[in-house]
Amino acid sequence: MEKKVEISMLWQIYGKLLTEKQYQYIDYYYNNDLSLSEIAENEGITRQAVRDIIKKGERKLFEYEEKLLFMKKTINQEQKIQQALSNLTKIQKDSTDKQITSILEEIKKELNCLV
């Protein structure tokens, strides 16, 4: 997974556990695509200070994920749901019974809500 996407996902899961500045600067940098210089100028601090705050926040996000594994569990769950949907579609295509097809369609709708 691309680092930018991974950090953004971790920020969504664990961001509120960071300091306010770490939370904001990571949001600016990864989600709003501001450069370190732009953030520094907007906040009235040095580019290096912004970089340090972001790096500390990134380390914290990875530490939380290493201990809690929420992102890994979520990705695994989504993969299992996608596999179940795929299997249901195969069964539905091969089925000639309208009642079974209807039930499978309802299950697919419920699983799609989870993804």
The reply to whether 88 and 107 lie within a common domain is: yes
Compute how many other C-beta atoms are within 10 angstroms of the C-beta atom of residue 69: 12
The total number of structural domains that make up the chain: 2
The reply to whether 9 and 43 lie within a common domain is: yes
The reply to whether 63 and 86 lie within a common domain is: no
* pLDDT reading at 93 higher than 90: no
Is residue 81 within 8 A of residue 115, CB to CB? The reply is yes
At 69 the pLDDT is: 94
Is residue 91 within 8 A of residue 104, CB to CB? The reply is yes
pLDDT digits (tens, 9 = 90+) for 34-80: 999 999 999 999 999 999 999 999 999 999 999 999 999 999 999 99
* Domain of residue 87, residue span: 74-114
Is residue 54 within 8 A of residue 25, CB to CB? The reply is yes
The reply to whether 32 and 80 lie within a common domain is: no
Looking at residue 58, which CATH number applies to its domain? 1.10.10.10
The reply to whether 41 and 62 lie within a common domain is: yes
The reply to whether 13 and 63 lie within a common domain is: yes
